[in-house]
Structure 1
Amino acid sequence: MFFQSAGMNLFGIPMDEEGIKYASIGRLKRQHNPALIYTIPSFHNPTGTLMSERRRKQLSEDCQKASLPIIEDDVYGDLWFEQPPPKPLKANDKQGSVLYIGSVSKTFSPGLRIGWIVGPEPVVINRLADIKMQTDYGSSSISQFLVNKWLKNGYEEDLTLVRSELKCRRDYMIEILNTYFSNIVTWNIPSGGFYIWLKITPSISNRKLFEKALQEGILLNPGNIYDKDDHTHLRLSYSYATLDQIKKGLKRISELIIEMM
C-alpha cells in the first residue's frame, strides 16, 4: 500500500456490520495522535461492509471534533446491486476536511490506472498534483482521453451490465458456500463490490490452510494480510475467476478445512 511505502505507521480501527466504530477514534487520537483517517465506506475491502448513513454522519462529526482529516476511498461505490449506497462522506463535508478518491479501475479497466481526487484546491492542486508529477510524471494522455469519452458516452449503461454480472457471481458464490461451507464457516452477504468475508469456525491454522491451498494451485487471501492478529478470516472475490474455477476452488477449500479439523 502507498501509505506503507511512504513510511507511515498504520493503526487499525475496529469495525462492525455498520462500518468503522467511531467511538474508537478518540482513544486512537489519545494513544497515537494520527495524522488522518483512511476509510472505504462503500463495500469495504476486504470485508464487503457497507457503512450505514448513521455511521457516516457520526464518523464525520467525530473526526471534525478530533481535527482529523479523512481520506474517503470510493472506488467500489458504483458497484451496488439492489440500491445505491448512502451519500459519500464528502457530500456533507462543510470544512474541506475530506479527500474523496474515485477510480475506473474497478468499474471499467484496471489497466488504465485512471482515478480522481476531490478536495480543497490548496491540497489537491498545489500539493498533491506536484507529488504525483514527481512520482510518475503524470497519467497517460491516451488513457485519460478514453476515460473521458467513456464517462460522457455509455458510463451508466456499462455500469448496469457490470452490476448485473457481479450480482450473478455473488449469488453463485453464496450458493456454493451454502452447499459446501454451511457447517464450517460464517459469512456476510455483500450488497455490492467484489468481496465476501468468511470466518472459519473450526480452530485451524490459517497459515497451514494457505500453504495446502497453494500446493493445489489455489491462492487465498487470509485475514492476517489485512490485520496481523486475524487468524480466522478469508477474503473471497467473485469478480475475476470463471464460474467453474470458483466452484472447483471453493469445493477444494472446504475439503481442506474439513481435513484439518
Structure 2
Amino acid sequence: MKSKMKSDIVADWIKEQIKLGKWGSAGSKIPSQRVLADQFSVNRSTVVTALELLKKDGIIEGVMGKGTIIANDTWSLLASLPRSKDTQPSHPVETGIIDLSKGELAEDVFPDGYLNDVLARLSGKIHSLGYEERGGYEPLREAVAGYMTRQGTPVTPSSILIVSGAMQGLQLIASGLMERGASVFLEEPSYLYSIHTFQSLGMSLTGIEMDADGLVTADLQSKWRPNHPSALYTIPCFHNPTGIMMSESRRKEVLSFCAAHRLPIIEDDVYRELWLDSPPPPSLKSMDTNSNVLYIGSLSKTLSPGLRIGWVAGAEPVIERLANLKMQADYGTSSLSQRVASEWLEEGLYEHHLEYVRKELLKRRLEASASLERHLSGLAEWRIPNGGFFIWLKLKQDISIKELYTEAVNEGILFHPGSIYTEGTSRSIRLSYGYAGPAQFEEGIRRLKKWIITLSK
C-alpha cells in the first residue's frame, strides 16, 4: 500500500474520532504523532502527512506549547467527511495540466468573438433587468419552442421552463415531482451516478444494462416493479460516459414499455446537437403521445457553460408546478443570460454556430482516434462515438484504476475513473477530446500508456 493511501486512511480515522467526540470538542488535544503511529503500525511521516491533510481542511491546528488540537468539529468536519460514494474527483488548479476529463468544449472549438458579437447587438436593447416571468423570459421560451420544433420536437412556449442549466432541471424534477423512496432507473454506467440529485432526497438508483443500441429494454422490464413509484432517466444521444447513441427502434421499445406501465421518462438530451456523422434519431419527446416524457435541453455543452441556460419541456400543468418551485428557489434564471440566449436562437445564429462547432469537433475526434490507435490498441478497447466528445475506454489489463489515476495526476494528466459512473467497480475510464487540444490529447495518451504498462507488470 502506498504511503499516500495510508495517510488517507489515518486522516479518515482521525476525522471519525472527532466526529464521534472521542477526544472532546474544539480546543481539545488529540493523541500525539507517536501514539497514532504505534496504533496504525506506520511511520511517523505517514501520520504527519495525515495531519497536514486535516490542517488544510481546517479541522485541526498546531498550537505552541499544547500540541495538535481540534480546531473545528462542526462545518469544516462535515465538509471534509467522505460521502456514501465519491463524486467526480476534484483537481488542483495548475498550469501545464492535460485535462482529458472536462465535460465541456475548449474555447478554440468556438468561432472567434462569437459571444462579443451578440453582446454588442444587445447593448442598445436592454434598458433594465428585473425578475422575469415564472417560466422564464418569454422571447426565449418562444425561441426555444421554435428551435425544438424546427429540430423535429414540436412544443409550445407555454410548455417550456427556462432553468439555470440542466442540473437545475433535474433538481426541480426530483424535489417537486418524485416521491421519497422512489426508484430511478438509468443506464449503467451513467453520469447520474456521479451526482446525488436523487439520492439526497431519499431515492435509489437502479442500473439498466446497455448494448450498442442503448439501454436494454428487457433488463428494464425485469427490474421494474408494479405499484412502486419510479421513473426512467436516460441520455439517449451520445450518452455520458459511453458515447452510445440509442437507436430509433430501441427508443420506440422504451417508449412503448414505459407508456404501458405508466413509467415516466426524463430525457436528458443536452448532447443532441453535437452529432458529427449524421443527425440522431427523433427524440423520445417527439414520439411521445402520452405526455410521459420530460425533456431537458441546454446550451452549456454547445454554446457556453457560463450562461447557465437550460430548459425543461413537458405538459403545461407539470411545467407550471416546476415554475412555481423554481420561483421559490431563485426568483428566476439570470435575465442577462436569458437575453443573450434568446438573441442567439431568434436570429438563427445558433444553427450557424453549431455547423462551425461540429467541423472543429470532427477534427478533434479524428485526431483522438488516431492517438488511441497508436498507443493503446493492444491495451484497451473503445468505441468511437458518432457525436459528443466522450470516449469510454475499457482496459484489458486487470490493474487498479485508482493507482492509475494517482500516477496520472502526478504526471499532470486528468481523466475520470469509470467507478464514479456506476454502483460497482469498473476497469474503464472516461476520456474527453472536446477540451484538450489534439497535441495535448496525444501526449496525455502517451503518458497513460506508460503507466498502464508499468502497473500491469
Determine if the TM-score, normalized by the shorter chain, exceeds 0.5: yes
1:143 to 337, 348, 351: 337
Q: CA deviation at 1:218?
A: 1.6
Per-residue Cα deviation, 1:31-85 (whole angstroms, up to 9, x for no partner): 9935200000000000000000000000000111221000001100011012100
> Is 1:222–2:417 an aligned residue pair?
yes
Q: 8 Å contact 1:28–1:34 — kept in the other structure?
A: no
Aligned: 1:22 with 2:217: yes
Q: 1:184 matched to which residue of 2?
A: 379
How far is the alpha carbon of 1:136 from its aligned partner? Answer: 2.7
Output one character per residue of 1:109-146: Cα deviation in whole Å (capped at 9) or x when no partner.
00111011111111111x11122223333100100000
Instruction: Tell me whether 1:164 sits opposite 2:359 in the alignment.
Output: yes
Equivalent in the alignment of 1:133:
327
After superposition, the Cα gap between the structure-2 partners of 1:231 and 1:32, relative to the gap in structure 1 and judged at 3 Å, is farther
Q: Deviations over 1:199-222 (max 9, x none)?
A: 101111111111111122222211
Helix, strand or coil: the match of 2:255? helix
Q: Which residue in the other structure is 2:263 paired with?
A: 68
- 1:152 aligned partner: 346
Query: Where does residue 55 of structure 1 map in the other structure?
Result: 250
Which amino acid is the alignment partner of residue 346 of structure 2?
K
- In 2 relative to 1, CA 207–115 (structure 1 residues): closer, same or farther, beyond 3 Å? same
SS at match of 2:267: strand
The corresponding residue for 1:201 is 396
Other structure's SS at 2:312 match:
strand
Higher Rg of the two aligned structures: 2
Residue 89 of structure 1: aligned partner: 284
After alignment, is 220-229 or 37-46 more displaced?
A: 220-229
Cα distance in 2 for partners of 1:117, 1:188 equals 30
TM-score (normalizing by structure 2): 0.55
Q: 2:384 is aligned with what amino acid?
A: I
> Could you tell me whether the CA contact under 8 Å between 2:395 and 2:428 is conserved in 1?
yes
Given that 1:63 and 1:69 are in contact with CA atoms closer than 8 Å, whether structure 2 keeps it comes out as yes
Does the CA-based 8 Å contact 2:419-2:426 persist in structure 1? yes
Rounded Cα–Cα distance in structure 2 between residues aligned with 1:85 and 1:179: 29
Q: TM-score, normalised by structure 1?
A: 0.96
Identify unmatched segments of 5+ residues in structure 2: 1-194
- Which is bigger in relative contact order (C-alpha 8 A, separation at least 6)? 2
Q: 1:83-112 CA deviation, whole Å, 9 max, x = no partner?
A: 100000011111101001111001100011
Structure 1 portions without partners, runs of 5+: none
**Would you say 1:211 and 2:406 are equivalent positions?**
yes
One-letter amino acid matched to 2:199: Q
CA contact (8 A) 1:72 1:99 kept: yes
- CA RMSD in angstroms comes to 1.4
Higher alpha-carbon deviation: 226-235 or 114-123: 226-235
Q: Secondary structure at the match of 1:235?
A: strand
Q: Distance in 1 between matches of 2:361 and 2:227?
A: 39
Which has the higher mean CA deviation after the structures are superposed, 219-228 or 28-37? 28-37
Query: Is contact 2:364–2:437 with CA below 8 Å preserved after alignment?
Result: no
Give the secondary structure class of the aligned counterpart of 1:193. Answer: coil
Aligned residue pairs total 260
> Does the Cα contact within 8 Å between 1:46 and 1:235 map onto a contact in 2?
yes
* Matching residue of 2:57: none
The structure-2 alpha-carbon separation of the partners of 1:203 and 1:32, relative to structure 1 and needing over 3 Å to count, comes to farther
1:9 alignment partner, one of 197, 204, 214? 204
Q: Answer whether contact 2:243 2:391 (CA < 8 A) is retained.
A: yes
The alignment partner of 1:100 has SS state of strand
- Alignment partner for residue 114 of structure 1, among 300, 309, 333? 309
SS at match of 1:257: helix
CA distance 1:243–1:12, shift in 2 (3 Å) = same
Q: Report the AA paired with residue 324 of structure 2.
A: D
Identity of aligned residues (%): 49
Matches of 1:7 and 1:83, distance apart in 2: 40
Q: Give yes or no for contact 1:41–1:72 (8 Å, CA) kept in 2.
A: yes
